[in-house]
Structure 1
Amino acid sequence: MPLFDVYPLYNVTPVSGKDILVYDDEGTEYLDLYGGHAVISIGHAHPNYVDAITNQVNTLGFYSNAIQNPLQKQLADKLEALSGCKDYELFLCNSGAEANENALKLASFKTGKKRVVAFSKGFHGRTSAAVAATDNKNIIAPINAQQAVTILPLNDVEGVKAELEKGDVCAVIVEFIQGIGGLDQGTVEFFEQVDKLCKANNTMFIADEIQCGYGRSGKFFAFQHYNVTPDIISMAKGMGNGFPIGGILIHPDIEAKYGMLGTTFGGNHLACAAGLAVLNTIEEENLIENTNIISEYFVEKAKTIPQIKNIKGRGLMLGLEFDFEVGDLRKKLIYDEHIFTGGAANKKLLRILPPLTIKKEHVDQFFETLKKVLEEIQETV
């Protein structure tokens, strides 16, 4: 049976990994500066992670949410301690799209309204309401397009104000650092004014931290770089280091009711074991501190390369912008130099999303290689 052909694939077959390195089926070593869309937060096959999942699956891999699962409470308590999001409540699911879907549903329940405000170049998932709030018409089917969504330019405070004052907006959803859109960020004034406008207009402010959360921005959540208090915070990618897990943090002003949200697999025993291993490792290995140290080092190195016209993002969610499209550069890096990097909707942007365990020696390796490849490309022009 053939696979449904919806992914353009590189001709590389990883079979194992160790920290920031992966190995293909021919034994070739690759430097992973992409982490599978920022999913690998604590490195491939981290011993804490492997032990936690192995021990849990040897005990109990799954039971439904109809019973007590103390691992969920342990995960919630650890998440509160590390994130600083005191008094929020946790709902667990399986993916970023599900997290945003539940966030939007909860906002609609809370406010009694149904329209959503989102922003250009934003990406929030591929399910019903989440994809409708995504600024990409190519992935929105007619069944999704029936959702009531208004997409505004990022930093358009007056536009947000005008829409919220119409009285029918249940939620404003925003990435504090855009992912696939190209690492654009709102201004301090924009984020803080939107937060105030939401609170003044009975509208839920949703921080989409699917990609920029879990330490990747240099703080636990990217919204923490600003003076804002989201009503709902969505999480996923770095949360399980590859094990499918997502969730939302919910402000205590939103009251839970039985049946309001639900999931079969969300918050299962294996997922919680993976999630706890990630949080414990972030804490024990000071990975947020490492993110800031390596980010500063990376940016200084990037500034020495004249072909790089702009450096975008924060922490270890970085973009290198050139004055040419980077598709061929990415191919040379992966096939000739064995380095994984990422692309974006901005075709001139190279995305860097490594595990938070990355060291300066890896940054040196990347930039030495990048200089060489850029010289080779220039010689062929």
Structure 2
Amino acid sequence: MSLFDVYPLFNIAPVKAKDVFVYDQHGTEYLDLYGGHAVISIGHSHPEYVKSISEQVQNLGFYSNSIQNPLQNALASELTKQSNCEDYNLFLCNSGAEANENALKLASFHTQKKKVISFTNSFHGRTSAAVAATDNAKIVAPINAQQEVEFINIGDIISVDRALRKNDVCAVIIECIQGVGGLDENSSKFYQKLQELCHQYNSLLIVDEVQSGFGRTGDFFAFQKHGIQPDIISLAKGMGNGFPIGGILIHPKIKASYGMLGTTFGGNHLACAASLAVLKVLQDENLLQNASEISQYFMEKANDQPYLKRLKGRGLMLGLEFDFPVAELRKNLIFKHQIFTGSAKNPNLLRILPPLTVQRKHIDQFFDALKTEFKS
């Protein structure tokens, strides 16, 4: 049997990892400035993380959501403390796509409407409604295209108002900093007006924090900079530091009923243990502060880059935009300098999404590699 060939793969096979480094089968060390799509939040194989999962699996690895799981309550409590998202309710699932799928379904249940507003260059997942709300026609199958989604340019509040006036929109879904789309972010005024219009027309505002949440921007959530209170917040990636977990935070005005949402594996004991370990390390090691400090250092170093067109993003969710496609540069960074970076829908953008434990010396290593490349 062969693997279904849907991933273009670099010829590297990691076998172990530690903090910000990944090692292949030959013992070659790679600096990970991509974190596996922004997943690695507290560093690879963090001792607290390994300990938490190991101890949990020795006691109970899994049981379904037909019984009580105190770890879910503990996770909800700690998440409230660190995010300051008080009064929200938590539903746990397995991934970012599943989080957004449940968020959209819940919005439709609550409003009894079915149309969705999304934004150009958005990415919300690859499942049914989530992929329909993703601005990439290549990954939307005909069965997904039956969903009613209107794409609007981010910042175009007039078009949002015009669409909402029809009173058929269950949700507006948005990344406050676009991930795959290329690190675009708009003004606080835009996000605040978006919230105002959603309230006015009885539509729910869903903020997708799948990539940007859990401290990646220096704030716990990216939306918090803008002074808004979303109706639903989706989260995943950095939430589990590599263990599959996702969830949505749900405003208390949205009422639950038995069977409305459900999952077999979501919120299982191992997933909760993993996320609780992430939250503990985020707090114990002041990683949100580190994200802000290293971000500032990165930006200072970036200012000296002669070929840089624009620096985008916040915290450790950053993008370097050049005047040329970066595909060859990414390959050279991997195979000549042993540094992982990421791509985006924008072919000229290099994405930087390291573990939040990254240090100045690692940033220096990256910019030294860029300097070498631009000289050659």
What one-letter code is carried by the residue in structure 1 that aligns with 2:214? Y
1:93 match: 93
Secondary structure at 2:150 match in 1 = strand
* Residue identity opposite 2:309 in structure 1: K
Q: Distance between the aligned counterparts of 2:345 and 2:374, measured in 1?
A: 21
Aligned position for 2:254: 254
CA–CA separation in structure 1 for the residues paired with 2:60 and 2:373: 49
User: What's the CA shift for 1:89?
Assistant: 0.4
The one-letter code matched in structure 1 to 2:96 is: G
Correspondence 1:223 to 2:223? yes
**SS of equivalent to 1:110:** helix
Identity %: 64
Query: Residues 170-185 of structure 1: matches in 2 within 5 Å?
Result: 170-185=170-185
1:337 is matched by which residue type in structure 2?
H
**2:288 matched residue in structure 1:** 288
1:369 Cα deviation (Å)? 1.1
Which residue is equivalent to 1:71?
A: 71
State the TM-score, normalized to the length of structure 2: 1.00
- After superposition, the C-alpha distances for 1:19-77 in whole angstroms (9 at most, x for unaligned) are 00010010000000000000000000000000000000111000000001000000000
Q: Does the residue aligned with 1:321 lie in a helix, a strand or coil?
A: strand
Query: Take 1:17 and 1:358, find their aligned partners in 2: how far apart are those partners?
Result: 14
SS in 2 for 1:17: strand
1:346: how far off? 0.4
Matched residues in 2 for 1:154 and 1:58: separation? 48
TM-score of the aligned structures, taking structure 1 as reference length? 0.98
- Following superposition, the deviation at residue 196 of structure 1 comes to 0.4
Alignment of 1:1-381 (within 5 A): 1-376=1-376
In structure 1, what is the Cα distance between the partners aligned to 2:13 and 2:374? 26
The alignment partner of 2:223 has SS state of helix
Corresponding position of 1:379: none
Give, in whole Å, the separation in 2 of the partners of 1:177 and 1:226. Answer: 11
SS at match of 1:176: coil
Distance 2:15 2:26 in 1: 9
Distance (whole Å) between structure 2 residues aligned to residue 145 and residue 193 of structure 1: 29
Structure 1's consecutive aligned runs of 4 or more residues displaced over 4 angstroms after TM superposition are: none
CA distance in 1, matches of 2:375, 2:309: 16
CA distance in 2, matches of 1:186, 1:246: 26
CA distance in 1, matches of 2:182, 2:293: 23
Q: Displacement, 1:375? A: 1.3
Q: Distance in 1 between matches of 2:375 and 2:146?
A: 49
Residue identity matched to 1:45 = S
Deviations 1:283-305 (A, max 9, x none): 10000000000000000000011
CA distance in 1, matches of 2:207, 2:286: 24
Equivalent residue of 1:58, what SS? Answer: helix
* Unpaired segments ≥5 residues, structure 1: 377-381
| Residues matched between the structures, number | 376
Return the letter of the residue paired with 2:48: N
Residue 200 of structure 1, CA deviation: 0.7
Q: Deviations over 1:111-150 (max 9, x none)?
A: 0000000000000000000000000000000000000110
Look up the equivalent residue of 1:12 and give its one-letter code.
I
- What is the CA–CA distance in structure 1 between the aligned matches of 2:109 and 2:51, rounded to whole Å? 40
Please state whether the residue corresponding to 2:308 is helix, strand or coil: coil
1:314-366 C-alpha deviation (Å, 9 max, x unpaired): 00000001111000000000011100000001000000000000001111111
Q: Which digits, 9 at most, give the CA deviation of each residue in 1:212-258, with x for residues without a partner? A: 11101110000001021100000001000000000000001101100
Q: Distance in 1 between matches of 2:375 and 2:250?
A: 50
Measure how far apart 1:101 and its partner are. 0.2
1:82 offset after TM fit, Å?
A: 0.1
CA distance in structure 2 between the partners assigned to 1:202 and 1:229 by the alignment: 15
Q: Secondary structure at the match of 1:244?
A: coil
Name the SS of the counterpart of 1:309 in structure 2: strand
Instruction: Look up the SS of the partner of 1:182 in the other structure.
Output: coil
Structure 2, unaligned stretches of length 5 or more?
none
Return the letter of the residue paired with 1:131.
V
